[in-house]
A and B are shown apart, each in its own frame.
Chain A
Amino acid sequence: MGFLKIDEIHHTYFTKTSATTALSNISLEVEEGEFVSFLGPSGCGKTTLLSIIAGLLKPTEGKVTLEDQLLEKLDNQIGYMLQQDYLFPWKTIEENIQLGLKLNNQLTTEKMSYTYKLLEQMGLSGVEKQYPSQLSGGMRQRVALVRTLATEPKLLMLDEPFSALDYQTKLRLEDLVSDTLKSFGKTAILVTHDIGEAIAMSDRIFLFSPRPGQIYKIIHVPDELRALPPFQARNHELYSEIFQTIWKEVESVETEQ
C-alpha cells in the first residue's frame, strides 16, 4: 500500500529525426513521510520522471497515482522545487511566497500568516518587503522552499535544489530542508547526482542507469544514518561504507554502457 505509486512508466521523446526513449519500465512506490532520492548520471531521465510525477508531462505509457487517485485529478498536492530559485525578480519576497495561493484563490489571512511563519522558520524574518536581488543565493533558495511549501503540498519534489549553491551553504540548507520536511511529515523525492547528498538526506535511494532510464538498484539507507541530520550523517562511520558501495554500483552502471 504505497502513498505514491508509479506504475510501468515509459516515456519517449520524438523529434523530426529521432525517437529517444528517456524512461523504460519504471515502477516504484513511495510511503507516506518517506524521503527518497533518485540518483544517477545525467541523461538517465530523472528530471523527466519528476516532470511526469508533477503532471507537467504526460507519459507515453503507464500511470502515476497519489493516495490511489490518478494524477490528472490532483490539484496543487505536489510541490516542485527547481535547480535555481526562479523567484520572480519584479515581485517582493512576500508576493513570491504567496504566488501559489494567489493562483488558486486561496489567499486567506490564515494562509498568509502561515507563509510568514514558514519564512520565520527558515530564519528569514523581516525580508517580506524586499526584492529577490537583495538576498543571497542561499536565502533565495530558502524563499523558494517557502514558496513551494506555502500551498501545503502532500508530496515535495526537489530537482537538484542545492546544485547551484556553494558547498557550505549547501550543507547548511540540507540540514534545514531535512529538518523542515521531517517536522511536517512531508513525503519528498530528491533528484541528485551527488552520492553523498543522497545518502545523507534520504531513507531510500533509487539508482538509475541511463539510455533508456531504468531503475538499476534500490539502496536502503541504514536506520542509524536516517535518524541523524544530514551533516552528522556525513560524519558517521557507516556513511563512508555505504558511499563506497554506491560508488561501485555507479561505476558498474557506467562500465555497462
Chain B
Amino acid sequence: MKQNSKLEFLHNEYIQSLKRESRWVRFYQLIIFVVFFAGWEIFSRNQWIDPLIFSAPSKIWNLLIDKIADGSLFLDLGYTVSETVLGFILGTLLGTILAAILWWSPFLSKVLDPYLVVLNSMPKVALGPILIVALGPSMTSIVAMGAIISVIITTIVVYTSFREVDPNYLKVLQTFGATRFQSFREAILPACFPTIISTLKVNVGLSWVGVIVGEFLVSKRGLGYMIIYGFQVFNFTLVLLSLLVIAVFATIMYQLVELLEKKLIKNSSQ
C-alpha cells in the first residue's frame, strides 16, 4: 500500500515535469513571435529599416482588415487555395497512375527510364510560359503548373515502392491464379498506401510553388498575383500580407494532410 502511494506520487511528479517542460517550450515560442513582430514594428517606426520596403506589422494588419472588409482577400485566397488543392490532388493521382502503368509493363518502364530522369531533373516552373500559351491565361494553366511540378517525382517515388513490395505476397496471389490486375489491387496498392500518403505531404508544398509561380505569370488574381502586383506598384505592405497569408494557409493544408495520414495509416497498420 505504501509502495503504491509512493509510485503514484512519483508518477504524478513525472507528469508534472512533462507539463512544465511543454509550458516552457510554448512560452519561448511565444517570445520569439512577439519579439519578432514587436521588433519589426519598432525598427520600422524609428526608420532603422526602410519602412517603404519592409513595411510594418501595423500597416499589414490594417491592410488585412481593409481587404477582409471589402472581401477582396477572400476572393484571391479562394482562387489560390482551390488551385493548389486541385493541383496537388491531380499531381498525386496522375503520378500514382503513371507508376501503376510502369509497374504493369516492365518493358515500358525500361524504355521510359532515361526520360523520367531528364524530366525529374528539369525545373518544371520553366514550362510555365509554354503552359500559359497552350492552355490560355486561366485557372487551367495554373492548376496544370501545380500538378506538373509534383507528378514526375510522385511517379518515381511510388513506382519504387511498388517494386519493393515483398514478392512472396505476389507468389501467394499467383498460387490462387490471380491476374496481374488482381495482384495490383490486393497486394501492391494497399502495401504502398503509406508511401502514397507521404508523397501527398511533399506534394502540398510543391503545389504551392507551382501555383504561386503560375499566378505570377498569368497575373490576374490570387495571392501570387497580389505579390506581383504589389511589387509592380511598389506596395510592399501588400506583398508581405500575401506572404503571411500564404504561410498560414500552407501550414494549415500541411497539417490537414498530416491528420489524414495519421488516420489512414492507423487503420491500415492495425
Q: Is the C-beta of B202 less than 8 angstroms from some C-beta in chain A?
A: no
| Minimal Cβ-Cβ distance residue in A for B179 | A103
Q: Mark A79-110, 1 if CB is under 8 A from B, else 0.
A: 11010101011100000000110011000000
> A86–B176 Cα gap in the complex (Å)?
14
| Minimal Cβ-Cβ distance residue in B for A134 | B270
> A103–B178 Cα gap in the complex (Å)?
6
Which residues from B are CB-within-8-Å of A75? 177
Q: Is the C-beta of A60 less than 8 angstroms from some C-beta in chain B?
A: no
In the complex, how many residue pairs between chain A and chain B have their CB atoms under 8 Å apart? 48
Contact B172 A86 (CB under 8 A): yes
Contact A103 B168 (CB under 8 A): no
Which residues from A are CB-within-8-Å of B4? none
Among B214-270, those with CB < 8 Å from A are: 268-270
Contact A103 B177 (CB under 8 A): yes
Q: Is the C-beta of B190 less than 8 angstroms from some C-beta in chain A?
A: yes
Report the minimum CB–CB distance from B263 to chain A (whole Å).
15
Which residues from B are CB-within-8-Å of A88? 169, 186-187, 190
Which residues from B are CB-within-8-Å of A207? none
How big is chain A's contact interface, by range? 20 to 34
Q: Is the C-beta of A121 less than 8 angstroms from some C-beta in chain B?
A: no
Contact A82 B168 (CB under 8 A): yes
Main DSSP-derived SS at the B contact region: helix
How big is chain B's contact interface, by range? 20 to 34
Q: Is the C-beta of A119 less than 8 angstroms from some C-beta in chain B?
A: no
Q: Is the C-beta of A202 less than 8 angstroms from some C-beta in chain B?
A: no
Which residues from A are CB-within-8-Å of B193? 90
Q: Is the C-beta of B182 less than 8 angstroms from some C-beta in chain A?
A: yes
Q: Is the C-beta of A231 less than 8 angstroms from some C-beta in chain B?
A: no
Contact B270 A131 (CB under 8 A): yes
> A172–B133 Cα gap in the complex (Å)?
72
A104 and B176 contact, Cβ closer than 8 Å, known pairs A82-B171, A133-B270:
yes
Q: Is the C-beta of B175 less than 8 angstroms from some C-beta in chain A?
A: yes
Which residues from A are CB-within-8-Å of B269? 89-90, 133
Q: Is the C-beta of B173 less than 8 angstroms from some C-beta in chain A?
A: yes
Q: Mark B184-203, 1 if CB is under 8 A from A, else 0.
A: 00110011010000000000
B169 touches which of A80, A86, A133 (Cβ 8 Å): A86
Contact B186 A54 (CB under 8 A): no
Contact A99 B168 (CB under 8 A): no
| Minimal Cβ-Cβ distance residue in A for B187 | A88
Q: Mark B145-172, 1 if CB is under 8 A from A, else 0.
A: 0000000000000000000001011011
Q: Mark A149-193, 1 if CB is under 8 A from B, else 0.
A: 001000000000000000000000000000000000000000000
| Minimal Cβ-Cβ distance residue in A for B193 | A90
> A213–B187 Cα gap in the complex (Å)?
33
A86 touches which of B168, B177, B182, B190 (Cβ 8 Å): B168
Of all A-B residue pairs in the complex, the 9 with the closest CB atoms, nearest first, are: A80-B175, A100-B176, A90-B268, A103-B176, A90-B190, A103-B178, A131-B270, A86-B168, A86-B172
A residues in contact (CB < 8 Å) with B: 54, 56, 75-76, 78-80, 82, 84, 86, 88-90, 99-100, 103-104, 131, 133, 151
B residues in contact (CB < 8 Å) with A: 166, 168-169, 171-178, 182, 186-187, 190-191, 193, 268-270
